[in-house]
Amino acid sequence: MKKDNFSDIEILTDKIADKTLEQLEREGVFVFPEIVKDAEDITQDQMILQGVNDTYRSGNVMGFLGCGDERLIIESRFCGENEDYFFQYLLDRVLDFPNIVDLKSDANQDNRLFNFLLFLFPYYLKNAMRKGLFKKYIHHRYNDGNVKGAIDIARHIKENTPFTGNVAYSQREFSYDNSLMELVRHTIEFIKGKPYGKNLLIKVKDEVKLVINATPSYEAYDRKKIIDENKKNAVRHAYFREYLALQRLCILILRHQKHQIGFGSRQIYGILFDGAWLWEEYVCSLIGDAFYHPMNKGGKGAQRLFDGNIGLIYPDFISRNNETRIIADAKYKPIDNIGNRDYLQVLAYMFRFDAKTGYYLYPESGDADDLNLRLNRGSTYEENVTPRDDISIIKHGLKIPADVSDYDEFVVKMKVCEQKFKQVFAACAPQAF
């Protein structure tokens, strides 16, 4: 894209151009999924806009950014000429978002950004609660006759003179009712007050019930104090990284009450989604019954290239049918951009798992048919190069409807395209299709 195309949002462009996602995240931009450093396809050094001579190069990220009154909408690579229905569809299938991505018709983009944060809350809450309720040590102060902790001499003299039988003391207790769980409770109560709040929280009703039961000391007027405590005491233990993400999201949601997202006319704000991650999770929802789906971000399904636990790899998809093993790789890029390192990676996976066939699964916004690439044998030095009949990689695209009048029509056409896309893998798990 030519740099001249961004002349209308020059202030915003200057603030985000050539900045990494890690830098933008530190300045207040919310990046999904979770923490940037834990994702494979969206890296810390990736840039939203990277200057190359007189042009800007963009990456796999989608979402919204703003600074003051300037806005930048980053659409998917595969949207139509009007609305970005594909972005909305990915969010709907992967995160169960309502239809809110009418990007260009909403005059109040700040409210739209805030709604995105609210709609992410059930996903983050469910992820965190898979680790169980968050428990930590907290200090309680008591003044009674049942002494169990350290006596507070100064407070005892102040509160119990003359002596009536009570003793002032403090005790360190391991409790679920701590500042973080209180923060989550405040966020739940805040969302309940929204017109769509109850419908949003019904997706996580069991988790909500657990949080409410675990926070008996909740008081609405403590909200500011709870927010301040959480800002000062971020979750640090690696095991609870999902709670760190939830903590950050809750703070962003609750602080919106006092000032709009991006408080201050010069501050960057926004929310960014990793398009490659959304695409991979969406593809998994289509073919997951026929394939294993290792996930490096969650540390699930790790594989090794070599004996001795050497060479950690996470192929996107490994077919469950080991008699005719297939390796598939989800690529959020056009067909012509799949090459070079992509080929080497999938061929290495195929060699490792004795697979004769590999697939690239990509979004197809044009009319390109599947491309079957047959592996060569022989050498150009000996002039005996010929294609093999037994090993091939296929670029298999999922057609993205273009000629649609609204989102409902897009969904109907996508369902048809999905069925055609899945039929290729019917032999991998016939019962699934």
In the prediction, which pLDDT does 36 show?
43
Asked if residue 320 has pLDDT above 80, the reply is yes
Q: Secondary structure of the chain: what % helix, strand, coil (to 5)?
A: 40, 25, 35
Asked if residue 261 has pLDDT above 50, the reply is no
Question: How far apart are alpha carbons 426 and 433 in whole angstroms?
Answer: 6
What's the rounded mean pLDDT across residues 192-216? Answer: 89
Q: Report the percent of the chain where pLDDT is more than 90.
A: 35
- Burial string for 54-84 (b: 16+ CB within 10 Å, else e) reads eebeebbbbbbbbbbeebbbbbbbbbbeebb
Q: Which residue has the higher pLDDT, 47 or 128?
A: 128
Reduce the DSSP state of residue 69 to 3 states and report it. Answer: coil
Helix residue spans in 331-375 (DSSP H): 341-352
Tell me how crowded residue 296 is: count the other CB atoms within 10 A of its CB: 17
Asked if residue 39 has pLDDT above 60, the reply is no
Tokens 């490096």 belong to 296
Maximum Cα–Cα distance across the chain: 105
Contact 62, 76 (CB under 8 A): yes
Q: How many CA atoms lie within 13 A of 338 on its CB side?
A: 25
